[in-house]
Amino acid sequence: MTETEAIAEKSDKKLRTSLNTWDLLFLSLGGIIGSGWLFAAYAASSIAGPAAIISWIIGGVIVLIIAMNYAELGAMIPRSGAIVRYGQYSHGNMAGYFMAWAYFLSAVSVPAIEAEAVIEYANPYVGNGSLLYNGVVLQPIGIFFAALLMVFFFFLNYWGIKVMGKTNTGMTWWKMILPLVTILLLVTVRFDVANFVTLAAGSTGSGFMPYGFAPVMAAVATSGIVFSFLGFRQGLDYGGESKTPQRSIPIATIGSVLIGILIYVLLQVAFIGAINFGDLGIPNGSWISLAPLASGAYLNAPITALNSAPFASIASSVGLVMLTYVLFADAYVSPSGTLNVYLGTSMRTLYGTAALGYLPESLMKVDEKRRIPVMPLVISLIVGIIFFAPFPSWYKLVGFITSATVFTYLIGGPALRSLRRNAKELKRPFNLPGSSILAPLAFIGASLIVYWSGWPLVGELAIAIYLGLIVYVIFYFAKKKGPSRKDIHTSKFIKAGLWVPVYIIVLSIESFLGESAYGGYNYVPYPWDILMVIIVAIVFYFWADHSGIRTEEIEEIVTLDSQYLKPEDEPFKTGGGE
Amino acid sequence: MNKYVLGTIVGIIIGAIGLGLLIYQTLITTSVGVNVGAIPTIGILYAFIFALGVIIAIAMASLNSPTRPGSK
């Protein structure tokens, strides 16, 4: 065992294990019901029309399949900051590093997104309505208040996992009940069935799917749908602090996505049924008029108001005054709750990355009193605030984060299958049935979501991931001089992880060549582009699956019997794997 | 009475005050319509107080819930 691994092992044991199944489920749900529920229904219907409902189902099912793969890994090896660690466990240093880097990029920026969502929602009530946010980007005073919000939740996390977890439970109850009340009231007061079938004059296609199927899939990645569901990872990332990980992690991971699908599909249905085209000054069925113009502004004042506060605007327009007030209040509560959760996730990601040896060992130091790693929390706060600079608007950030996060989920399926071969002796409290099908499906699904993020975003993601190489080289030379991890850069690890840097390049090329609805140059139009992505994904899946090795980390977990499973906990019962 | 029970009661009181004020504000609000910018800001504050009370009450009640023997 290297020095870094020994410290990581010690630090893992110092973390307080005080979260029960409900806490873990609510952490995942708290990540899922954030700013997404306030904005994504509007954004999705402006892209896909009423067929946005299908977008939610597609996005939800893909994320569910990905989550099921991680449920087995999470229950098998529960760790804080788990997601960054599984790539390393199954495919060694190179794949582990790339995944950790991509996940780091996404995890540290989500608190910034949620803080921005709060400020954008508050904007109409402060000053002249453009003091905090001018409709396109946050203003300096808006950035100041967003940073202040992050500082508040920094302290909530600092008080320890128990206070943070229970506060989140309270917030998540609120966040779950309010969307359900909104659905019930909107459907009761105003629900126009014609909105689901009316086709705008001069348009072709069907009223339900006015712009064809390609935008339905584009909406999955770019309107915040997948972004909303990605919160399932909290159950994994906080898994090392669970009292009963082998039972709680699968329930939290899979259960949260299922509840999320139900709530979001119903919200989308309620939103579409409640839209009054006459009030908005646009023809019936003209969903595309809700989208921003090339300048970033909106067609008229009512649409601008609807965009800034979609559900509150609708509630107000149908006379639901109390709901309007509560929705505006929730615009602060829901994203704040998600900010609270993700600040902790960001901290655990940094901790997990340090435990792999890619960041200084000081980031693994667990505070004796709080029993959390304090330094990663401080860094998460600082880096999150820095993220306000290059991406100063909610919608601009979402696409990038979704792609970066989903890219890291590519490894879930191959990791599960290769660990079944290379770590047969590890106990599997949750044994995913049909994994030979579900693992490649998760890989294909994650590939499609990255592709749907569109060009040039996928290219930008590739650049961001390759920038990680520079950090890797610095890290390599620094480590080479030190006493630990002398074999960090062996050909074994390059062979096991080479598919990762190659695949991001291939995905970028696919995105460049692909359908124009996803920003590509239409060399491979729909539906051939989808076929291309699926076939290439299958090839890369088998490459990734067969690249898996028995790593030192797995060897140590087996040797030291350090799965951290609690003997008193009942395992999760399933139909069994194959 | 431990600090968590006290916290739960405080949360319920804050929530009840917020709800009362919110109902009052709802009854006197006349500006409704798609332009939500016209809605009085004070109502949002009352709704926020209500939400805060609910969240504090649930969080404190959860913190007060008994832990299983042997758990940390």
DSSP A246-313: HHHHHHHHHHHHHHHHHHHHHHHHHHHHH--HHHHTS-TT-GGGGS--TTS--SSHHHHHHHHSHHHH
**Domains of chain A: which residue ranges?**
3-293+323-560
Contact B39, B71 (CB under 8 A): no
What phi and psi, each to the nearest 5 degrees, are found at residue A133?
-150, 125
pLDDT band (50, 70, 90) for residue A484: low
CB spacing of A243 vs B71 below 8 angstroms: yes
Place of tokens 């491979």: A524
Q: Is residue A574's pLDDT more than 60? A: no
Q: Is A345 exposed, middle or buried (0-12, 13-18, 19+ CB in 10 A)?
A: buried
Of residues A571 and A439, which shows the higher confidence score?
A439
Q: Is residue A96's pLDDT more than 80? A: yes
Answer whether the bond into residue A310 is a cis peptide, omega within 30°. Answer: no
**Residue A298 contacts by C-beta under 8 Å, 6 or more apart in sequence?**
A135, A290, A292, A304, A307
3-state helix, strand, coil in chain B (%, to 5): 75, 0, 25
- Tokens in use for A541? 């899946």
CB spacing of A174 vs B46 below 8 angstroms: no
Instruction: DSSP letter for B17, please.
Output: H
pLDDT band (50, 70, 90) for residue A263: very high
**Residue A351 contacts by C-beta under 8 Å, 6 or more apart in sequence?**
A11, A80, A81, A363, A364, A373, A376
The CATH number of A3-293+323-560 is 1.20.1740.10
Contact A522, A516 (CB under 8 A): yes
CB spacing of B39 vs A171 below 8 angstroms: no
pLDDT band (50, 70, 90) for residue A391: low
Distance from CA of B9 to the nearest CA of A (A): 14
Q: Which of A11-25, A38-52, A219-233, A322-336 has the lowest average pLDDT?
A: A11-25
Contact B50, B65 (CB under 8 A): no
H helices then E strands: how many in chain A? 25, 0
Distance from CA of B6 to the nearest CA of A (A): 16
Place of tokens 């067609």: A299
Average pLDDT, chain B: 83
Of residues B24 and A527, which shows the higher confidence score?
B24
Task: Provide the pLDDT for residue B35.
Answer: 65
Strand partners, A366: A373
Across A44-53, A397-406, A456-465, the highest mean pLDDT is recorded for A44-53
Task: For chain A, give the number of residues.
Answer: 578
Q: Which of A195-199, A471-475, A531-535 has the lowest average pLDDT?
A: A471-475
**Residue A492 contacts by C-beta under 8 Å, 6 or more apart in sequence?**
A92, A549
CB spacing of A568 vs B57 below 8 angstroms: no
In 3-state terms, what secondary structure has residue B15? helix
Place of tokens 């404190």: B60
Contact A412, A444 (CB under 8 A): no
CB spacing of B54 vs A329 below 8 angstroms: no
**What distance in Å separates the CA atoms of residue A273 and residue A127, rounded to the nearest whole number?**
33
Q: Is residue A560's pLDDT more than 80? A: no
CB spacing of B22 vs A326 below 8 angstroms: yes
- Chain A CB contacts of B50 below 8 Å: 326, 329
Number of C-alpha atoms within 13 angstroms, CB side, residue A335? 29
**What distance in Å separates the CA atoms of residue A163 and residue A14, rounded to the nearest whole number?**
17
Interface of A with B (CB under 8 A): 16-18, 124-125, 129, 162-163, 166-167, 169-171, 173-174, 243, 276, 279-280, 301-302, 305-306, 308-309, 312-314, 316-317, 319, 321-322, 324-326, 328-330, 332-333, 568
- Chain B CB contacts of A324 below 8 Å: 32, 36, 39, 43
pLDDT in tens, A489-500: 577 888 999 999
**What distance in Å separates the CA atoms of residue A144 and residue A150, rounded to the nearest whole number?**
10
pLDDT in tens, A99-116: 888 887 777 777 888 888
Q: Is the dihedral of CA A450, A451, A452, A456 positive or negative?
A: positive
Among candidates A541, A394, A522, which has minimal Cα distance to A454? A522
pTM: predicted TM-score of the whole model, two decimal places? 0.83
pLDDT band (50, 70, 90) for residue A373: confident
Instruction: DSSP letter for B34, please.
Output: S
In 3-state terms, what secondary structure has residue A290? helix
Q: Is residue A305's pLDDT more than 50? A: yes
Across A155-159, A164-168, A435-439, A573-577, the highest mean pLDDT is recorded for A435-439
The residue-averaged pLDDT of B50-69 equals: 80
The residue-averaged pLDDT of A456-474 equals: 83
pLDDT in tens, A207-225: 889 888 888 988 887 787 8
pLDDT band (50, 70, 90) for residue A230: confident
Among candidates B59, B5, B30, B38, which has minimal Cα distance to A328? B38
Is B23 an 8 Å CB contact of chain A? yes
Q: Which of A83-97, A290-304, A344-358, A386-400 has the lowest average pLDDT?
A: A386-400
What phi and psi, each to the nearest 5 degrees, are found at residue A179?
-60, -35
Answer whether the bond into residue A456 is a cis peptide, omega within 30°. Answer: yes
Number of C-alpha atoms within 13 angstroms, CB side, residue A373? 35
- Chain B CB contacts of A309 below 8 Å: 36
Place of tokens 């009193």: A369
Q: Which of A74-88, A227-241, A532-546, B23-37 has the lowest average pLDDT?
A: B23-37
Alpha helices in A514-549 (DSSP H): 528-547
How many CB pairs below 8 Å do chains A and B form together? 114
Is B58 an 8 Å CB contact of chain A? yes
CB spacing of A316 vs B44 below 8 angstroms: no
- Chain B CB contacts of A305 below 8 Å: 34-37
- Chain A CB contacts of B47 below 8 Å: 322, 325-326, 328-330
Q: Is A209 exposed, middle or buried (0-12, 13-18, 19+ CB in 10 A)?
A: middle
Q: Which of A22-26, A35-39, A312-316, A425-429 has the lowest average pLDDT?
A: A35-39
Q: Does the model's ipTM exceed the 0.85 cut?
A: yes
Instruction: DSSP letter for A573, please.
Output: P
Question: Measuring CA to CA, how many Å separate B17 from each of A198, A327, B51, B54, B55?
Answer: 45, 18, 11, 11, 14
Distance from CA of B68 to the nearest CA of A (A): 9
pLDDT in tens, A171-212: 888 888 999 999 999 999 999 999 998 887 777 777 889 888
Our measurement of the distance from residue A271's CA atom to the centroid of its chain's CA atoms, rounded to an integer in Å, reads 23
Q: Which chain B residue is nearest to residue A14, measuring alpha carbons?
A: B72
- Tokens in use for A96? 């582990």
The residue-averaged pLDDT of A480-484 equals: 58
**What distance in Å separates the CA atoms of residue A279 and residue A305, rounded to the nearest whole number?**
12
Among candidates A139, A155, A179, A143, which has minimal Cα distance to A41? A179
Task: Provide the pLDDT for residue A90.
Answer: 93
CB spacing of B37 vs A328 below 8 angstroms: no
Place of tokens 């199927």: A213
Looking at residue A383, its amino acid is V
3-state helix, strand, coil in chain A (%, to 5): 70, 0, 30
- Tokens in use for A379? 């860094």
Q: Is residue B72's pLDDT more than 70? A: no
- Chain A CB contacts of B48 below 8 Å: 329, 332-333
**Domains of chain B: which residue ranges?**
3-28+40-63
**What distance in Å separates the CA atoms of residue A37 and residue B69, rounded to the nearest whole number?**
38
pLDDT band (50, 70, 90) for residue A479: low
Of residues A162 and A2, which shows the higher confidence score?
A162
**What distance in Å separates the CA atoms of residue A40 and residue A136, rounded to the nearest whole number?**
17
Q: Is residue A485's pLDDT more than 70? A: no
**What distance in Å separates the CA atoms of residue A246 and residue A488, rounded to the nearest whole number?**
31
Contact A86, A411 (CB under 8 A): yes
Task: Provide the pLDDT for residue B68.
Answer: 44
Q: Is the dihedral of CA A207, A210, A212, A214 positive or negative?
A: negative
- Chain A CB contacts of B68 below 8 Å: 243
**What distance in Å separates the CA atoms of residue A139 and residue A131, rounded to the nearest whole number?**
7
Among candidates A52, A312, A287, which has minimal Cα distance to A179? A312
Distance from CA of A322 to the nearest CA of B (A): 5
Q: Is residue B67's pLDDT more than 70? A: no
Among candidates A230, A204, A454, which has minimal Cα distance to A341? A230
**Residue A543 contacts by C-beta under 8 Å, 6 or more apart in sequence?**
A499
Of residues A486 and A127, which shows the higher confidence score?
A127
Q: Is residue A8's pLDDT more than 70? A: no
Angle value at C-alpha A443, between A441 and A449, nearest 5 degrees? 100
pLDDT band (50, 70, 90) for residue A576: very low
Task: Provide the pLDDT for residue B70.
Answer: 39
Question: Measuring CA to CA, how many Å separate A361 from each of A55, A316, A428, A475, B24?
Answer: 43, 53, 30, 13, 56
Q: Is residue A577's pLDDT more than 50? A: no
**Residue A79 contacts by C-beta under 8 Å, 6 or more apart in sequence?**
A12, A85, A239, A240, A352, A355, A564
Q: Which chain A residue is nearest to residue B62, measuring alpha carbons?
A: A166
Q: Is residue A475's pLDDT more than 90? A: no
Is B71 an 8 Å CB contact of chain A? yes
Q: Is residue B69's pLDDT more than 50? A: no
Is B7 an 8 Å CB contact of chain A? no
Across A32-41, A153-162, A278-287, A357-366, the highest mean pLDDT is recorded for A278-287
A169, A312, A333 ranked by CB distance to B51: nearest: A333
Is B66 an 8 Å CB contact of chain A? no
Among candidates A238, A259, A249, A232, which has minimal Cα distance to A72? A249
CB spacing of B55 vs A167 below 8 angstroms: yes
